Amino acid sequence: MSVSRPIVFTGGDFETNGYYLPDDELLIDAPEGIAEELSRQGLKVSALWLTHGHFDHAIDAARIQREHSCPVLVHPLDAPQVNGKFDLRLLGIPWSIQPVSDLTLINSENIKTPAGRVVRVLHVPGHSPGSVCFYFAPEGILYGGDVLFRGGVGRWDLPGGDQRALFDGIRAKLYVLPDDTVVFPGHGPATSIGHEKESNPFVAAG
């Protein structure tokens, strides 16, 4: 079937991207201000998937869950950052976010959208321990969070970061995808796997 392109929202001090998939009523990441924008547009969220637990991607998660009564999915290793059991001051963040008390933990390589589409979960730690990418194979789309950017990669100097794990994961799990796979990242413009394999200055293919 024909699938709509995602609605892109960028919010917060770190210009974090959130993506709303209309055909699935699915939201990927919850940057600051996206809850208000969803309300303004009258958009319903049936599920919220977090690429990782960093506050700039999860700051509106509790409000979205409260207003939409939807599950919030996150990798188990990043759950403490979302449920309030991790001190944000360790990241140099002097404030807290409202915790999500009822999390759904990602425990499978394949999950389904609210509309029943099967999506592959690629666990690529290094930016954070539980950082994941969501790969929609039939559409050739990857929601990459803060793993891979256009001309860049996620930072690895925060608690739980690991440069080698990040680079190895990009090569082993992302660069093996078709070159024309569109990557929607957590920050900045979209790119493609082929473009990054050829020109990313941080991680060379092979």
Residue 2 covered by a domain? no
From the list 53, 20, 23, the residue with the least C-alpha distance to 34 is 20
Q: What pLDDT is attached to residue 44?
A: 98
Residue 1 covered by a domain? no
Residue 206 covered by a domain? no
Strands (DSSP E) contained in the chain are: 7-11, 16-21, 26-28, 47-49, 72-74, 103-105, 110-112, 118-123, 132-136, 141-145, 148-149, 152-153, 182-185, 191-192
Assign residue 126 a region: left if phi > 0, alpha if psi is -120 to 50, beta otherwise?
Answer: left
Residue 55 covered by a domain? yes
User: How many CB atoms neighbour CB 179 within 10 A?
Assistant: 14
Distances (CA, A) of 182 to 102, 147, 194: 32, 14, 9
CATH number of domain containing 98? 3.60.15.10
Residue 106 covered by a domain? yes
From the list 52, 50, 16, the residue with the least C-alpha distance to 31 is 16
* Token pair in block for residue 194: 């082929």
Q: What pLDDT is attached to residue 92?
A: 66
Residue 85 covered by a domain? yes
Q: Phi, psi (5° rounding) for residue 117?
A: -75, 135
Residue 172 covered by a domain? yes
Residue 36 covered by a domain? yes
Question: Which residues constitute the domain of residue 60?
Answer: 7-199
Q: What pLDDT is attached to residue 71?
A: 97
Q: What is the pLDDT along the chain (206 residues), one digit of tens a residue?
A: 457 789 999 999 999 999 999 999 999 999 999 999 999 999 999 999 999 999 999 999 999 999 999 999 999 999 998 987 666 666 666 666 789 989 999 999 999 999 999 999 999 999 999 999 999 999 999 999 999 999 999 999 988 899 999 999 999 999 999 999 999 999 999 999 999 999 999 999 87
SS3 156: coil
Q: What pLDDT is attached to residue 96?
A: 67
Number of domains in the chain: 1
Strands (DSSP E) contained in 41-117 are: 47-49, 72-74, 103-105, 110-112
Q: What pLDDT is attached to residue 18?
A: 98
Q: What pLDDT is attached to residue 95?
A: 64
Q: What pLDDT is attached to residue 38?
A: 97
